[in-house]
Amino acid sequence: MFRPKLFTLLKNKPEEFKPHNILKEIMVGLIISFISIPLSIALAIASGVSLEKGLITGVIAGIIVSVFGGSRVQIAGPTGAFVVIVYGIVQKFGIDGLIVATAMAGIILVVMGFLKFGSVLKYIPDPLIIGFTSGIAVVLFSTQINDFFGLSLKNIPSEFIPQWKLYLANIVNVNFQTLALGIGSLLFMFFYPKRFKFFPASLAVIVISTLAVKFFNFNVDTIYTHFGDISKTVSFMPKIPSVNIDMLVHLMPSAFIIAFLAAIESLLSAVVADGMIEKKHRSNTEVIAQGFANLGSAVFGGVPATGAIARTSAGITNGARTPIAGIANAIFIFIAMIFCMQYVQLIPMVVLATILFNVAYRMIDFRAFSEITKAPKNDTLVLITTFLLTVFVNLIYAIEIGVVLASLLFMKRMSDMTNISVLDQESDFEDEIEDSDGIDKKIFAKDVVVHEITGAFFFGAASTFVEHMENIKQCKVIILRMRKVPVMDATGYNALYKIYKRCKKTNTRLILCHIQKQPLKLLTKYNFINDIGRENISLNLNSALKQADKYIKSLVQK
């Protein structure tokens, strides 16, 4: 159930922890920290909290997931997926509400992991994931317009349309020095040589722009001018929030959304990592570790965390193969917090906005949108609906409605695939099992009706089955062929039982043939086999027709 990869590797692969391998992993951790530090700062500020909370999350969650996670190379920390939901929580409930929601999400994740939901989450359809992650990207982009144009607005609403109304009303207040620095930073990151993997573009642009602002005295907003002196406010002391029952009730939907996002994104990241290193992660262990990470982050006043695909991929491409790289990354973030905050606070806000523009751009699946006309209509509807709800309503409604819509459309699709057909002498019986007593030409007696169910016999198809069977003309024997029914649920059984009772009432014999393993097991559990009589369960259509013929002859003799 809960088997952290690190412990397994230490036990079964000790050669991977030789001194030279550990040193290599530590160097990879240093490289990852160059990406993690600026992203953690930018994401924290975008979420409406002070920057050290993003760094605290990178340290606490990074260590916990690396030590207890189900992946060799997962790098955890704050990600763009949480910005929208965190910002909304902080606006309504403050930092205490965020701590409580993050802790609740951690508990939910731990429960999900121990209930083996990690294996179930892989069934969430891609259109739903693409829809809300792309929607989050658009909202994230929108939240950075104020800093990119230097509008100096306060108390910006969290809703998309009111945000843009405020931006457009204040567009005359653009700070052109800020805008020029922002455009220059975007161009720098776009043309930054890819071969400089050891020193990422986000870190390079922060260093260069900060030096430029310092020495040329640009009139732009910095972390210091925005938040004040933060160099002495960093603390790893546990935070005890003020909480009440009313807050818990109101935060529950947000906590579930955080847990859902954390589970989905961490498992997606783990799957990507599996493909890159040709290994296999443990999904339930990973979900449990993400729960511990969010609990730990909440204890120290951090923000929600999950596995980060970009940071994980960067680690792998630079040689990470064990959790040591993730642990080293967290340690280097901690060192930066202790010794470098006086320099961090000099970073221009507009540069953080450009970094988040890049994050938002990478979150959008442009290929899926470009091919939207080629996708099945149901998938397109789910993607567009989830995307629009995420942008124009909120993430909670987007996921709730998206999941329900995807489920309903899937059930409709499965129901459409389930078919009930009438068989006659012209039907194809080539794959029937013949025996010495077989009926070669399969001639149906006058009062025998043969029907075949094709597809899943579940609640989506049960009403169609009952309606079809109730319209059968009066006969003496009904044979129900089930060779193409792979699964049956309780509603399917109830529909079958209803037809059985109707047949019994009209003195019509019901014979089932060619029942597959799962439906047979279900019918046995419900004691239906004994109700209908084992003589009315046939191996194949030949034996069912033979049984029907005997029954009709016995009626004639009477």
| Residue 295, Ramachandran bin (φ over 0: left; ψ between -120 and 50: alpha; else beta) | alpha
| CA R_g for the chain | 31
What pLDDT does 438 receive? 41
- Of 352, 377, 409, which closes a domain? 409
* Same-domain pairing of 424 and 401: no
Give just the sign of the alpha carbon dihedral 69, 71, 75, 81: negative
Average pLDDT, the chain: 88
pLDDT in tens, 448-507: 888 899 999 988 888 888 888 888 778 899 999 999 999 999 999 999 999 999 999 988
Reply yes or no on whether the pLDDT at 180 is more than 90. Answer: yes
Are the beta carbons of 481 and 514 closer than 8 angstroms?
A: yes
Residue 509 has phi, psi (to 5 degrees) of -85, 130
Confidence of residue 558 (pLDDT cuts 50, 70, 90): low
Residue 385 tokens, joined: 């609906």
Are the beta carbons of 138 and 366 closer than 8 angstroms?
A: no
* Same-domain pairing of 367 and 444: no
Reply yes or no on whether the pLDDT at 439 is more than 60. Answer: no
Range of the domain at 551: 419-557
Reply yes or no on whether the pLDDT at 4 is more than 70. Answer: yes
Asked whether residue 380 is domain-assigned, the answer is: yes
pLDDT in tens, 212-268: 998 888 999 998 888 777 776 677 788 888 888 999 999 999 999 999 999 988 988
- Residue 7 to residues 294, 347, 356, 534, Cα–Cα distance (Å): 21, 39, 35, 53
Asked whether residue 311 is domain-assigned, the answer is: yes
Reply yes or no on whether the pLDDT at 148 is more than 70. Answer: yes
pLDDT in tens, 283-320: 999 999 999 999 999 999 999 999 988 789 888 888 88
482/537 Cα distance (integer angstroms): 11
Which comes out higher in pLDDT, residue 428 or 502?
502
What pLDDT does 436 receive? 43
* Same-domain pairing of 550 and 471: yes
- Of 409, 429, 447, which closes a domain? 409
- Strand, helix or coil at 510? strand
521/291 Cα distance (integer angstroms): 37
* Same-domain pairing of 481 and 388: no
Of 404, 445, 414, which is closest to residue 555 (Cα–Cα)? 445
Asked whether residue 32 is domain-assigned, the answer is: yes
For residue 474, the tally of other CB atoms under 10 A from its CB is: 8
* Same-domain pairing of 393 and 425: no
83/334 Cα distance (integer angstroms): 22
* Same-domain pairing of 425 and 400: no
Reply yes or no on whether the pLDDT at 338 is more than 90. Answer: no
- Of 409, 442, 464, which closes a domain? 409
Residue 478 has phi, psi (to 5 degrees) of -115, 120
